[in-house]
Amino acid sequence: MIEGKRVLITGPAGQVALPITRALAAANEVTGIARFRDPRVRAELEAIGVTCIAVNLAAGQFDDVPDDVDYVLNLAVVKSSRWEVDLRGNAEAVGLLMAHCRSASAFLHCSSTGVYQAAGPHLQAETDPLGDNHRVIMPTYSIAKIAAEAVVRTEARQLGLPTTIARLNVPYGDNGGWPLFHLEMVLAGQPIPVHPDQPNLFNPIHEDDIVATIPALLAAASVPATIVNWAGDQQVALEDWVTELAALVGREASFEVTEGTIGGVTTNNARRMELLGPTTVDWRDGMRAMVAAQHPELLV
């Protein structure tokens, strides 16, 4: 892991960001920027050594934010389903942040494999077509993420700022994620929506592997920006992880086949393997650990 560096992290308390923030704060000077509306969240971060600065990212209010950092990790995301809010909060904000931190050694922008055009079981490579595949459940998400990537690519070239764009595919772990949402639905007796183009294949990546790949992602930063899928080695059907989660808590899973949800997005990991190496957490072990962290009293 990185040591002795000055690191700026956006959205440090988020589901993906918090494990990264904890790991980096152990041996680096970490500054976290967000709105920090909940004082308890801020206090928890400060307790592990994070310097917290309240910032409205969309407004570009960076006067109090240090610009002499070594690394910037943009892990914040805005998902309001309002176009003006989400384009400002995701695309405009990251451009303004990059301009403020133009002297950094590397900039890591967290994107999503939700930017790809839906293609069923096709292994999505970084050069494959982009599209609006999340519209059915989050109308602004895919387009706002694509817009953010375009801004990041432009600023990397304009500023000469070495940059990596990492496209996450189903991040999960002790801190939650989409599979935890499914677990809560199982516990509530609700059917899990699945797209009719079955099986719905993804490449979930555990938070331990996310944390472990941070140094390599920063080392891969370049101008023009490096783009890489941030996904696990194992291809897993949504139907399989829901069934596994249900079994772990002694319940039965049920499914509702519907066009009103996203289909699978599975990744070609050749570039990730070249730049970051393999992932290590088996998905069944990761799911069991998540249940143990979130619902230990229910774990069979």
Whether 110 contacts 75, CB under 8 Å: yes
- Whether 1 is in a domain gets the answer no
Task: Give the CA distances from residue 239 to residues 46, 126, 128, 194, 255, in Å, rounded to whole numbers and listed in that order.
Answer: 39, 25, 25, 8, 8
What is the pTM for the complete model shown?
0.97
- Whether 242 is in a domain gets the answer yes
Q: 138 and 152 in one domain?
A: yes
Identify the band that residue 163 occupies on the pLDDT scale cut at 50, 70 and 90.
Answer: very high
Neighbour-count burial of 216, counting CB atoms closer than 10 A to its CB (0-12 exposed, 13-18 middle, 19+ buried): middle
Could you give the angle at the alpha carbon of 188 between the alpha carbons of 207 and 178, nearest 5°?
Answer: 20
- Whether 274 is in a domain gets the answer yes
- Whether 286 is in a domain gets the answer no
Three-state SS for 87? helix
Residue span of the structural domain in which 45 resides: 6-173+205-234+265-280
Q: 221 and 84 in one domain?
A: yes
Tokens 């309001």, residue located: 80
pLDDT at residue number 198: 93
Identify the band that residue 61 occupies on the pLDDT scale cut at 50, 70 and 90.
Answer: confident
Q: 184 and 158 in one domain?
A: no
pLDDT at residue number 4: 98
Q: 211 and 109 in one domain?
A: yes
- Whether 139 is in a domain gets the answer yes
Q: 180 and 107 in one domain?
A: no
Q: 161 and 46 in one domain?
A: yes
- Whether 120 is in a domain gets the answer yes
Over residues 81-99, mean pLDDT: 97
Q: How far apart are CA 17 and CA 173, in angstroms?
A: 12
pLDDT at residue number 173: 98
The domain that contains 14 carries what CATH number?
3.40.50.720
Determine how many CB atoms are found less than 10 A away from the CB of residue 155: 22
Q: How far apart are CA 227 and CA 257, in angstroms?
A: 33
Q: How far apart are CA 266 and CA 232, in angstroms?
A: 10
pLDDT at residue number 74: 98
Residues contacting 2, CB < 8 A, separation 6+: 24, 27, 28, 71, 214, 215, 218
Query: What number of residues does the chain have?
Result: 300
- How many domains would you assign to the chain? 2
Q: 132 and 46 in one domain?
A: yes
pLDDT digits (tens, 9 = 90+) for 108-161: 999 999 999 999 999 999 999 999 999 999 999 999 999 999 999 999 999 999
- Whether 285 is in a domain gets the answer no
pLDDT at residue number 226: 98
pLDDT at residue number 1: 80
